[in-house]
């Protein structure tokens, strides 16, 4: 069909990258966003963007090692080909953003500077002050504005995605959206629809995410039949500034630049932190993880901080959980140059200068590793086939997902500074796929308009019935707060089945209570009240799949930590005992891998209740191995593991079978 448009939903890094590349390919784009795209949540990303670079390459780094760090950090839960492709694209993506004018920090020679981030030993992270996400977003925003002036892109800002429109074969033909100012509904017929709508932190009430991160667009796609993958994997960032309206991120770059996490050895030591001598401080991350120190992967740092405050009772404050993040040993000029932006945030919102006084921080919900299940086509070399229909396609043909709202790149735990890369990569990479999808399934125009009219009527009906609910007894904002408190309590750092079971029932009751929510604004002009109430209703199906996925997954993997199924370190001290325990440990690990190294797939059943199934993970490039950060007896386990891997490789070689180990 001639002249089909692509509908991009969401104007953060992923949506803008896709839009830019599509326009360049000659495709007309409708770009729908809840906010002016320049105000998207990507602006909040602070620390940087990862890629192998000229410097790290000479220290032994490679695209393969970046790929390896990413899958190891993610506890092997990602399909490997897309991750490999992303790592391979890293250098050219940084070069591109550099050409677009991103003011990356510079070395004295005028090259891009890099810093070190968590989960790697290389300085792989390019950065622009402490507002790298903002700077990258602006560069893409500027290019898309250029295309808008050219007439290739039409922006629909302050518009809400309500539902994909599917034909009788189940293929996506476009979507219905609503203008948040005039409240009018509109059909967007499209050759392909791509969701780039980010994470769903608001399901947890307060998080580091922006107010648009309700997950509503994804939930609507899920309720229309799209599968959701790995929902239970939610990253809790180790360092955030507690606040009444939001938990503001304190970037990992604070530790990347030498920030140290500590607590006074004496519980709630009332002294000024600066006057507490070194000997009376516990730098617990450095003590427990000498190799990575303060830069252990996020899930581990989070758990340690959570643990030292709750289990060990060493929180800095009595009535609030927090630890010190200390930068005061670093010269002021260095801090201002490299971390200025984030330090200002702390100063502005806490009224304390972090250059002088250690910051008080605590973990907060930060990133959804899970998201819409998407497909890919593997190439002969283990990467992806560019332009394939399958890349980034959800289980609904014609509906695609990119950026944080897909589940594909970060497995069980995301490494710092990999999200900006995955967003830009998936946005650029999906463009030829979308271009190919346009015009691939022509149909009569008459049928099309009937489909859209139907969906518009359904949405108008839903909207009208909400506006009519003035007599309800439930307050949507109060209910949201309850949902957030519950989810934060049971589905963040530590998960227990005896909490998850009642929590699931509680969320079901909340979903039921939602139907009795009263709207306090019944008008039909910029009605934020009804838009929020609608989004809240769409949080419950996702909350349920997070809880159910967490409940069923009886193991520890990345951000999903269930103490009842943790594999403790070794106890024996004599070599023979240690060896024996290490063998047992590896047996358990192998059995667990066979049982649980699988993607969780949720499909939306009746009443928004999820049906959970599991899919094998493509680990054909790097066989899974234990993540041993800081474990007692790690060296003994590693030794046994290496012997086993060598035997497996040897055996596989003899049997002429590829990559047999651990699959």
Residues 467-486 interacting with another protein (rule: CB under 8 A): 475, 477-478
Compose the 503-542 pattern: x for residues touching another protein by CB under 8 A, - for all others: -----------------xxxx-xx-xx--x----------
- Residues 304 and 634 sit within 8 Å (Cβ to Cβ): no
Q: Whole-number minimum distance, CB 182 to another protein, in Å?
A: 10
Q: Does 173 bind another protein (CB under 8 A)?
A: no
Residue (431 or 586) nearer to another protein, CB? 431
Interface with another protein, residue 253, by CB under 8 A: no
Question: Other C-beta atoms within 10 Å of 569: how many?
Answer: 16
Residues 186-205 that bind another protein (CB under 8 A): none
Q: How far apart are CA 8 and CA 31, in angstroms?
A: 5
Is there binding between residue 332 and another protein (CB under 8 A)? no
Residue 351 CB, shortest distance to another protein, in Å, is: 7
Are the beta carbons of 84 and 67 closer than 8 angstroms?
A: yes
> Cβ 129 to another protein, closest distance in Å?
6
Helix then strand then coil, % of the chain, to nearest 5: 45, 15, 40
Task: Name the minimum Å distance from CB 246 to another protein.
Answer: 4
Q: Which phi and psi (to 5°) does residue 8 adopt?
A: -105, 125
Q: Which is nearer to another protein, 177 or 212 (CB)?
A: 212
User: Could you say whether residue 5 binds another protein (CB under 8 A)?
Assistant: no
Shorter beta-carbon distance to another protein: residue 138 or 540: 138
Q: How far is the CB of 275 from another protein (least distance, A)?
A: 21
3-class state of residue 171 by DSSP: coil
Among 348, 446, 471, 655, contact with another protein (rule: CB under 8 A): 348
Beta strands 192-195 and 399-401 are parallel
Q: How far is the CB of 175 from another protein (least distance, A)?
A: 20
Residue with Cβ nearer another protein (73 or 341): 341
Q: How many residues bind another protein (CB under 8 A)?
A: 72
Nearer to another protein, 40 or 413 (CB): 40
Q: Which residue of 55, 121, 142, 572 would you call a contact of another protein, by CB under 8 A? A: 142
Per the annotation, the verdict on 469 as an active-site residue is no
Helix axes 497-514, 528-552, angle to 10 degrees: 150
Q: Which of residues 19-48 bind another protein (CB under 8 A)?
A: 20-21, 24, 35-36, 38-41, 43-44
CA 65, distance to chain mean position in Å, is 21
Q: How many angstroms separate the Cα of 151 from the Cα of each of 222, 257, 431?
A: 32, 44, 18
Residue 660, SS3 per DSSP: coil
Alpha-carbon torsion angle 374, 380, 386, 388, nearest 10:
-60
Output the smallest distance, CB 424 to another protein, in A.
10
Q: Which is nearer to another protein, 109 or 272 (CB)?
A: 109
Residue 34 contacts residue 40 (beta carbons within 8 Å)? no
Residue 384 CB, nearest distance to another protein (Å)? 16
Given the residues 124, 260, 298, 495, the one annotated as active site: 298
Q: Where are the beta strands (DSSP E) in 356-504?
A: 359-368, 371-372, 399-401
Contacts of 151 (CB under 8 A, 6+ apart): none
334 makes contact with another protein (CB under 8 A): no
Which one-letter DSSP state was computed for residue 111?
S
The contact pattern for another protein, residues 68-107, with x = CB under 8 A and - = no contact, is ------------------------x-xxx-xxxx-xxxxx
Binding residue for another protein (CB under 8 A) from 50, 70, 134, 488? 134
Residue closer to another protein (CB basis): 319 or 498? 319
List the interface residues with another protein, window 216-245 (CB under 8 A).
Answer: 243-245
- Residue by residue, DSSP assigns 12-72 as SHHHHHHHHHHHHTT--EEEEESS-GGGSGGGG--S-EE---HHHHHTT--HHHHHHHHHH
H or E element: which one contains 217? helix 216-223
Residue number with CB closer to another protein (471 or 576) = 471
Strand partners of residue 6: 29, 192
Q: In angstroms, rounded to a whole number, what is the distance separating the alpha carbons of residues 103 and 339?
A: 14
The residue range among 131-139, 438-446, 593-601, 613-621 that interacts with another protein, by the rule CB under 8 A, is: 131-139
- Active-site residues, by number, are 298
């Amino acid at each position: 069909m001639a002249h089909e448009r692509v509908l991009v939903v969401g104007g953060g890094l992923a949506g803008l990258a896709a839009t830019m590349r599509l326009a360049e390919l000659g495709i007309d784009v409708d770009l729908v966003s809840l906010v002016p795209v320049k105000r998207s949540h990507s602006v909040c990303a602070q620390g940087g963007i990862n890629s192998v670079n000229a410097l790290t390459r000479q220290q032994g780094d490679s695209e393969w090692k970046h790929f390896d760090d990413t899958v190891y950090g993610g506890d092997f839960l990602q399909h490997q080909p897309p991750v490999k492709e992303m790592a391979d694209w890293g250098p050219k993506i940084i070069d591109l953003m550099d050409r677009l004018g991103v003011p990356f920090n510079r070395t004295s020679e005028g090259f891009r500077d890099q810093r070190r981030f968590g989960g790697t030993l290389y300085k792989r992270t390019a950065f622009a002050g402490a507002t790298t996400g903002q700077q990258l977003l602006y560069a893409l925003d500027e290019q898309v504005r250029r295309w808008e002036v050219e007439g290739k892109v039409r922006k629909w800002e302050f518009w809400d995605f309500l539902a994909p429109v599917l034909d009788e074969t189940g293929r996506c033909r476009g979507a219905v959206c609503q203008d948040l100012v005039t409240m009018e509904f509109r059909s967007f017929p499209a050759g392909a629809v791509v969701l780039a709508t980010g994470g769903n932190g608001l399901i947890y009430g307060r998080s580091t995410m922006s107010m648009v991160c309700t997950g509503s667009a994804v939930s609507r796609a899920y309720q229309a039949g799209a599968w959701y993958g790995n929902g239970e994997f939610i990253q809790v960032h180790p360092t955030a500034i507690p606040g009444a309206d939001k938990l503001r991120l304190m970037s990992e770059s604070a530790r990347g630049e030498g920030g140290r996490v500590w607590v006074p050895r004496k519980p709630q030591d009332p002294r000024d932190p600066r006057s507490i001598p070194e000997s009376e401080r516990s730098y617990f991350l450095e003590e427990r993880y000498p190799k990575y120190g303060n830069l252990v992967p996020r899930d581990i740092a989070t758990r340690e901080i959570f643990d030292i405050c709750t289990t060990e009772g060493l929180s800095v404050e009595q009535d609030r959980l927090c630890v010190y993040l200390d930068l005061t040993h670093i010269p002021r000029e260095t801090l201002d140059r490299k971390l200025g932006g984030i330090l200002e945030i702390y100063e502005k919102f806490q009224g304390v200068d972090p250059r002088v006084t250690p910051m008080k921080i605590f973990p907060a919900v930060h990133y959804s590793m899970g998201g819409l299940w998407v497909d890919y086509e593997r190439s002969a070399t283990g990467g992806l086939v560019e332009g394939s229909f399958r890349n980034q396609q959800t289980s609904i043909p014609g509906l695609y997902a990119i950026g944080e709202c897909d589940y594909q790149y970060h497995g069980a735990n995301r490494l710092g500074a990999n999200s900006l890369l995955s967003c830009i990569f998936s946005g650029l990479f999906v463009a030829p796929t979308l271009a190919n999808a346009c015009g691939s399934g022509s149909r009569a125009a008459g049928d099309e308009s009937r489909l859209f009219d139907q969906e518009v009527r359904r949405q108008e009906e839903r909207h009208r019935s909400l506006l009519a609910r003035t007599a309800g007894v439930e307050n949507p904002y109060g209910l949201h707060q309850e949902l957030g408190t519950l989810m934060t309590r049971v589905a963040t750092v530590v998960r227990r089945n005896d909490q998850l079971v009642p929590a699931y029932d509680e969320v079901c009751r909340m979903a039921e209570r939602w139907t009795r929510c009263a709207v306090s604004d019944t008008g039909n002009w910029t009605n934020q009240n009804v838009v929020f109430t609608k989004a809240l209703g769409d949080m419950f199906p996702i909350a349920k799949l997070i809880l159910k996925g967490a409940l069923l997954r009886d193991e520890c993997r990345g951000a999903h930590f269930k103490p009842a199924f943790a594999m403790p370190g070794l106890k024996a001290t004599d070599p023979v005992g240690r060896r024996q325990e290490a063998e047992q440990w590896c047996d358990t690990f192998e059995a667990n891998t066979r049982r649980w190294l699988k993607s969780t797939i949720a499909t939306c059943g009746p009443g928004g209740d999820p049906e959970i199934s599991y899919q094998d993970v493509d680990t054909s490039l790097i066989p899974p191995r234990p993540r041993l950060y800081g474990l007692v007896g790690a060296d003994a386990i590693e030794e046994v593991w290496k012997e086993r891997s060598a035997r497996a490789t040897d055996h596989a070689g003899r049997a002429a079978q590829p990559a047999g180990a651990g699959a």
